[in-house]
Amino acid sequence: MGFAGKVWKFLVGVKDALVLVFMLLFFAALFAILTARPSPAAVRDGALVLDLDGVIVEERSEVDPIAALLATSAPIAEYQARDLVRGLDAAATDDRITAVVLDLDRFLGAGQVHLQEIGAALDRVRAAEKPVLAFATAYTDDSMLLAAHASEVWVDPLGGAVVAGPGGERLYYGNLLDRLEINARVYKVGEYKSAVEPYSRSDMSEAARQNYSELYGALWEEYLANVKKARPAADIERITGDPVGWIEAADGDLATAAEQAGLVDRLGTRQEFEERVVELVGADDWSDEPGAFPSTEMAAWLEDNPLDTPGKPIGVVTIAGEIVDGEAGPGTAGGDRIADLLDEALAYDLAGLVVRVDSPGGSVLASERIRNAILRHKANDIPIAVSMANLAASGGYWVSTPADRIFAEPETITGSIGIFAVIPTFEQAAASLGVNSDGVRTSPLSGQPDVIGGFTPEVDALIQANVENGYEDFLDRVTAARGLTREQADRIGQGRVWDGGTARQIGLVDQYGGMDEALAWVAQQAKLGDDWHPRYLGSQPTGYDTLLRNLLTDDAETGQGNDVVATFALRRAAVLGRIESDLDRLMGTRGMQAYCLDCPAPLTAVQDRDASSGWLSSLIGLLAR
């Protein structure tokens, strides 16, 4: 008994020690959470630093602490475009900020509309006679478009700049699915609805090729025009027309080639760049490190410059990311969550509503739930505007139809009015393994749908009819909203995707403009004058979320100091993520979809996916046998 008593005391001691440890960890975490908020005291006279070590998004997603801890890679930093614009505009008029430093060394990208909005804000800083300096080891399309608005663009001598343009090849799984004896049953309406082509073909259809040639051509023209406007001396035609000749003329030195072509102004290391900033804003008296300058981070700057809230509120609801059923988000447009936000806002006495859309679409049911929630606000006789960001396609256009006025930019991708569904069945694979199905039916639908035994012709016909009916519903909403005939709506529908400029010409969009223009229009319609403020519906990122990102983000994961070759290699992760996303879309449980699969995927959806797990690893294992 003495031995047992000692063991018991030992176990009790271990238990007490563990309790104490967990209590200490709990209170340490609580203290960190409560103090995670940036302090306005961190604002210093000198440079405002935008260290963009991640992606720029419309709506920042929340970090799931459990998923983040179990993931094999750190979460990628996200920066809301509207926050960056607000911070830059405040810096333009505040004497404490004498320069803006744009650190793009680990920048992973943004949509073209967001880049233009931030670029315009950088132009306003420069108009206030404050220099903007950009630095990166390697510039690609997105970072170059942003840096083009800087007064000085620096590149590391071992780096460079490469502009590739939109477009490229995507993956088609038709032959693979045939090899695996998986029958991808495709139901669609729309000649141009190419979202299902990767599952039924081994190449792009001519209709899809025509559509995307026109779309990417228009976006490319806008990109080139914007870079040329920001940097008139840049020889962008030579850079993109003869990239090999351009590089060979500089003996393969990408940094020198970029300087000779006018993409960058100066070659220098980070320390040399920082010493240049010191020349402009002075040295940091708090630091003995070479090149240290007094600076303010964007988070602290925003905390010191809160939004003004004068007058009546104009509601702003954000529909960002794929539209899905349920409560998903922020960063993903959960239909139930957004509808609930809109319904709660019915009690806020809003003077108007702006619906900000940055989505390739998704679930038809979720899109319709959001549309109905917007209509409940419209029933209150308040003006409603839609502001389209980078993407407002398929379901993203479905939710836009209740608007009194639709704003978009020339670089916005919209349209894709069409419906599809795809369901895999495994009757051939089962038969090849010696598994057969048989039984008794009392009707053609008995035991259906049967993903192992296959669908009956009646089930195929039923699903196709339902998809066709969904397309007619889509057309009804477009014709009622845009004053078009059914024939006109069908002609510009059929799943075809449009750039914002063409969308305006054919009547899908009313006028060019972003959030500011949409808010101003609503204020004018509501006769508010200047006595109003935007009220963003939904929760903002918390200090807890910020703390988790700071704790979990690893510089190595975002490619710190990448040269051009390493930057190209980083795209491997995006490709693997796209493969898994495609397979998940095939194998996942989804209803009718109004989704633009060929539209650029939301950046976080590509980057955050662990490409070594799930269907991708299973498929690789299967093919390796």
So which residues are the catalytic ones?
193, 394
Calpha distance 261→164 (Å, rounded): 15
User: Of 359, 442, 422, 448, which is closest to residue 395 (Cα–Cα)?
Assistant: 359
Residues 6+ apart with CB under 8 A from 373: 338, 339, 342, 343
Q: Which residue has the tokens 């917007």?
A: 374
Query: Is the preceding omega at residue 306 within 30 degrees of 0, hence cis?
Result: no
Amino acid at 223: Y
Residues 6+ apart with CB under 8 A from 47: 97, 98, 99, 100, 101, 277, 280, 281, 293, 294, 295, 296
Report how far apart, in Å, the C-alpha atoms of 48 and of each of 42, 102, 103, 603 are: 11, 9, 11, 26
3-state secondary structure of 391: strand
Calpha distance 165→217 (Å, rounded): 9
Residues 6+ apart with CB under 8 A from 157: 255, 267, 268, 269
Q: At what angle do helices 543-552 and 2-34 cross, to 10 degrees?
A: 110
List of E strands, 373-478: 384-393, 405-408, 413-415, 419-425
Calpha distance 360→365 (Å, rounded): 15
CA angle 488, 492, 493 (to 5 degrees): 105
Are 298 and 283 contacting, i.e. CB atoms less than 8 angstroms apart? no
Calpha distance 313→326 (Å, rounded): 28
User: Of 91, 100, 213, 77, which is closest to residue 146 (Cα–Cα)?
Assistant: 100
Q: Between β-strands 333-334 and 323-324, what pairing exists: parallel, antiparallel or unpaired?
A: parallel
Q: Which residue has the tokens 């051009």?
A: 564
Radius of gyration of the chain (CA): 27
In the DSSP assignment, the letter for residue 63 is P
Calpha distance 592→422 (Å, rounded): 8
Calpha distance 258→78 (Å, rounded): 28
Calpha distance 83→345 (Å, rounded): 22
Calpha distance 616→584 (Å, rounded): 9
Are 396 and 359 contacting, i.e. CB atoms less than 8 angstroms apart? yes
3-state secondary structure of 116: helix
